[in-house]
Amino acid sequence: MENNPQIPTRWLFFYTYILLPFNIVFSLAHPFGEQEKLLEQGIKTQINPMVFIPIIIGSIFTFFVIYGLHKRRLWGWICNWGFLIGTTLMGPMSTAPDIGTYIVTIILLSVTYLLPNYIYFKKRRYLFDPLSDHVVPQRYQKNREGGIF
**Residue 122: burial class (beta carbons within 10 Å; 0-12, 13-18, 19+):** exposed
Q: Could you read off the pLDDT tens digit of each residue along the chain, which spans 149 residues?
A: 344 556 889 999 999 999 999 999 988 887 777 767 766 777 777 777 787 888 899 999 999 999 999 999 999 999 999 999 999 998 888 777 889 899 999 999 999 999 999 999 998 998 898 776 666 656 655 544 444 43
70 CB neighbour count, 10 Å cutoff: 13
Q: What is the pTM of this model?
A: 0.77
Chain length of the chain: 149
8 A C-beta contact, residue 65 and residue 76 = yes
